[in-house]
């Protein structure tokens, strides 16, 4: 349909305030009235991708089935653009009770390869500096972004593909509560990167943790009331600007398609 941009938004999972994140992302997408959004809580309705221009995801421990993983891979490879946020790359087995470590199994290998990374661990939430990656200073996604401090989960991940770093931080130490707990190597921890795949691309942005009083339904918390409302990076102007740029990047191919469709035909 000429002029329309089709978006699929997947929001859901564990240990986060998905109602808040879903609403914020829908409001962001709605700032461009060409974008029409279909919403899901998991990845199984792969039929939504048939005419999708962009896929935006904010999930935690939502594991696509094998068929869904392949469908997403094929969609990106065919030219789709995906904006993957925060814990999309996570598969987490929480213990039944407090004490044992959280495990992060390699449970969705095709999806991890598509995303370019697999979540393994994070230290306790505290502010950390986020800087533009060397060589990315003139990239439209991060141009003009100065160093800022994010009070967010600092993701420690296994990289699964060659990526184009855009934002990063550095951290070494021992994390508590995760099986993958020792991180002695001082190397960049990517906060935002592009992962090209075939004719398409994934933009991964790890910031965006949020949590309210009643989001800890799953083990080992078993529905306990969380004492605080955590908004973290959602309170930062830099975060919202980067999200805005991420959506603008995601829809670029669709915008170009619309321009071609609406261009007047030249006389031969």
221 lies in a domain? yes
267 lies in a domain? no
For residue 43, what are its two tokens? Answer: 């990845």
Handedness of CA 79, 46, 35, 18 (dihedral sign): negative
Write the pLDDT tens digit of every residue in 74-85.
999 999 999 999
Q: Considering its fold, how many domains does the chain have in total?
A: 1
pLDDT score of 193 more than 80: yes
Cα–Cα distance, 203 to 194 (Å, whole number): 5
48 lies in a domain? yes
46 lies in a domain? yes
For residue 145, what are its two tokens? Answer: 């972004």
Beta-carbon contacts of residue 43 (< 8 Å; ≥ 6 apart): 10, 59, 62, 64, 65, 68, 69, 72
Rounded to 5 degrees, what angle do the CA atoms 126, 193, 32 make? 95
Q: What is the bridge-based pairing of β-strands 5-13 and 54-60?
A: parallel
Nearest Cα neighbor of 54 from 243, 260, 262, 259 is 243
β-bridge mates for residue 56, sequence order: 9, 83
Range of the domain at 198: 5-262
50 lies in a domain? yes
Q: Look up the CATH number of the domain holding residue 247.
A: 3.40.50.880
187 lies in a domain? yes
Beta-carbon contacts of residue 48 (< 8 Å; ≥ 6 apart): 8, 38, 40
Statement: the pTM of the whole predicted model exceeds 0.75? yes
Write the pLDDT tens digit of every residue in 27-85.
999 999 999 999 999 999 999 999 999 999 999 999 999 999 999 999 999 999 999 99
């Amino acid at each position: 349909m000429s002029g329309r941009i089709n978006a699929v938004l997947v929001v859901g999972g564990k240990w986060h305030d998905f109602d808040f994140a879903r609403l914020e992302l829908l409001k962001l997408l709605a700032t461009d009235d060409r974008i029409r959004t279909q919403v899901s809580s998991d990845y199984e309705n792969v039929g939504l991708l048939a005419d999708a221009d962009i896929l935006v995801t904010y999930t935690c421990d939502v594991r696509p089935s094998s068929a869904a993983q392949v469908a997403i891979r094929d969609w990106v490879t065919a030219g789709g653009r995906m904006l993957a946020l925060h814990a999309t790359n996570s598969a987490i087995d929480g213990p039944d009770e407090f004490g044992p470590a959280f495990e992060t199994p390699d449970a969705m290998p095709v999806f991890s390869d598509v995303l370019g990374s697999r979540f393994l661990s994070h230290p306790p939430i505290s502010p950390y500096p986020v800087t533009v990656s060397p060589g990315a200073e003139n990239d439209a996604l991060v141009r003009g972004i100065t160093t800022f401090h994010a009070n967010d989960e600092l993701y420690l991940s296994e990289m699964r593909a060659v990526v184009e770093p855009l934002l990063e931080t550095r951290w070494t130490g021992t994390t508590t509560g995760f099986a993958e707990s020792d991180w002695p190597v001082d190397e960049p921890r990517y906060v935002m990167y592009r992962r090209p795949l075939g004719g398409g691309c994934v933009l991964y942005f790890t910031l965006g943790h949020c949590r309210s009083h009643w989001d800890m339904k799953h083990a080992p918390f078993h529905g306990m009331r969380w004492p605080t409302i955590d908004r973290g990076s959602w309170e930062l102007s830099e975060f919202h600007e980067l999200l805005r740029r991420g959506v603008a990047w995601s829809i670029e191919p669709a915008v170009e398609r619309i321009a071609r469709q609406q261009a007047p035909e030249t006389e031969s």
